Amino acid sequence: MANSSDVKKQQVQEEEPVRKRGDRPKAFADLFTDWERLLTAVNVNEVDLPELSVEPLQDVVNEVRNITARQDAHRAGLRADTRRLRELMVRGQDHALQLRSIIRGRLGPRNAKLAEFRIRILGTRRGVATEPVPPLQPPVE
């Protein structure tokens, strides 16, 4: 009959492909997964390796989990803030439009004072100079 430790060893070996010597994980998620697999393998083989202490690595893994959970919560908060900012931008545009409409209604569509409120005055063209440009003089010889 197979020992439960042997069954666990076999399961761990089936899950993990054997890495080559220089084939170390480089990405954060890969490192973290590698550490968790190492801790699992050590725990499974604690009968064969009783002198190993996994507490320092386990502490690091626990702290990494806590920090990533905080980062996830922060990202969720950022998304909520961004959504709220977009809503406020739309509301602000609507209120500014309403306010400018009221100002235009009270002052009239041709009043020069509308320019102070950044409202286009009716009857003026955009991009047209207010002073006429003098015609070009032919060169004098």
pLDDT score, position 8:
54
Average pLDDT score over the chain: 83
More confident residue, 37 or 131: 37
Residue 104, C-beta contacts closer than 8 angstroms, at least 6 positions apart: 114, 119
Helix, strand, or coil here: 19? coil
Mean pLDDT of 25-42: 89
Helix, strand, or coil here: 140? coil
- pLDDT-above-90 percentage for the chain: 57
Chain centroid to CA 93:
25
**Of 46, 49, 51, 38, which Cα lies nearest the Cα of 12?**
38
Is residue 68 scored above 90 in pLDDT?
yes
Is residue 61 scored above 80 in pLDDT?
yes
Chain centroid to CA 6:
45
Cβ-contact 119, 103 below 8 angstroms? yes
Mean pLDDT of 22-38: 84
> If pLDDT is split at 50, 70 and 90, which confidence band does 2 have?
low
Helix, strand, or coil here: 114? helix
> If pLDDT is split at 50, 70 and 90, which confidence band does 28 have?
confident
Q: Kindly report, residue by residue over 88-122, the tens digit of the pLDDT.
A: 999 999 999 999 999 999 999 999 999 999 999 98
- pLDDT-above-70 percentage for the chain: 73
Residues constituting the chain: 141
